[in-house]
Chain A
């Protein structure tokens, strides 16, 4: 309304064409054109375009989120792997240490056993030796005794003649009579 008033003010001075002339027909056509254009564009362009834009933005956001998720998951997996690796290494170290300890023990044990066996064998050998010694000694003794007996027998046979025998018997008899 104030536009028409404005137009009136400006056109009243000039009879033919002013820049500020308001042509009602043009207003009419502007309204029609704009309304139709907006209606057509709204149905045909803005709705599909804006929804496509939103859809795309949503999909980009989703993909970014997914990528972020995948990255964190991968990181987690890597961390887990590293942890597992560390555990495995520790395990391996432990196993190696155990093996070493076992072998050490085994070595010691074997050494001890062999030493013990050696000692035992030495002991046995010593016992055998002493036994053999004893045997030999005994045999020697026996032989010496036999020899002595033989020798004494010979000596006795040599020295005991009739008078001596008579003397001895008499002596025995005397002893008997005394008792």
Chain B
């Protein structure tokens, strides 16, 4: 698999050209995770391979970009937090970040969770900015979207799932939480079915979160690559302006999608937390 991908990396576009557009591996290579950071045409960086208890925990491209996102966030918010110590009046980057923080707090978390939203605010803020940064990193040249990997989105969704359940149980008690899952006034003979449905519903929520983020972040890249690939598939330069124009349009759309998906993930997580915490409605 390693040799396979490195071979693909050597010159993905020429492969596409050579195979007459039948081979999609060059496209997949741009979207998928890899064990190297490629900076064509300047070369590639091979990442260290690690194993822990028989588990392959090699550093991959997406891991690097997760870290990059984390480092960027820590640097930015370190600066922002320090600027508040100097004065309560925001300026520069603090101003911009404050808009986002206040947006998450007042437009997402407060209306959906309501009372007691302060407890979940750090988690939801972290999720929002982490996903946002990962999404945007994928739009940079040589960048890669960690959030277009199902493993990453699934993990984020599982963390959300845990926060939702734990939040609900801490508020209502373990027994009270499961009792509250079933709506009031349901006929007794329906209880077994309702129980199954509601338990299934608990799992479909994070599943939808994971798939939505993954699909949205992957789709844009695939569309851009497919549009650019048209040039090689049709083997003509004349399609290039059209391809580039459309690719540019999709790229701009992706900026919007990057924002929207970070918002949606946070919004839905917050909504589910709110539903778990305040079960009575």
Contact = CB atoms under 8 A, between A and B. Distances in A.
Do chains A and B interact in one complex?
yes
Interface of A: 2-3, 7, 16-17, 19-31, 33-34, 36-38, 40-42, 44-50, 52-53, 55-56, 59
B101 A49 contact: yes
B151 A22 contact: yes
Interface string B35-61: 000000000000000101001111110
Interface residues of B, number: 55
Contact of B77 (A17, A34, A45, A53): A45
A169 B245 CA distance: 187
A46 B149 CA distance: 27
B53 to A, nearest CB: 10
Contacts of B52: 28
Contacts of B5: 17
B50 to A, nearest CB: 8
29 contacts: A2-B203, A17-B4, A22-B150, A23-B60, A23-B151, A24-B55, A25-B57, A25-B58, A26-B33, A26-B149, A26-B155, A27-B154, A28-B55, A29-B59, A29-B60, A31-B155, A33-B70, A34-B130, A36-B70, A37-B70, A37-B74, A38-B122, A41-B126, A42-B126, A44-B74, A47-B122, A48-B84, A48-B85, A50-B105
Contacts of B158: 3
A41 B77 contact: yes
Contact of B159 (A29, A34, A46, A50): A34
B32 A19 contact: yes
A42 B126 CA distance: 8
A26 B60 contact: yes
A49 B66 contact: no
B224 to A, nearest CB: 15
B261 interface: no
A41 B155 contact: no
B62 A26 contact: yes
B98 A30 contact: no
A25 B56 contact: yes
B interface: dominant SS: helix
Contacts of B58: 25
A34 to B, nearest CB: 6
CB-CB nearest 3 A-B residue pairs: A45-B77, A52-B84, A30-B155
Given A26-B60, A42-B126, A45-B74, 10 more contacts: A20-B150, A24-B151, A26-B149, A31-B155, A36-B70, A37-B70, A44-B77, A49-B80, A50-B121, A53-B101
Interface centre among A33, A48, A55, A59 (most CB of B within 10 A): A33
B247 interface: no
B60 A52 contact: no
A122 to B, nearest CB: 96
B126 A37 contact: yes
Contact of B60 (A25, A31, A47): A25
B1 interface: yes
B164 interface: no
A38 B128 CA distance: 11
A61 to B, nearest CB: 13
A30 B70 CA distance: 11
A11 to B, nearest CB: 11
Interface in B106-138: 118, 121-123, 125-126, 129-130
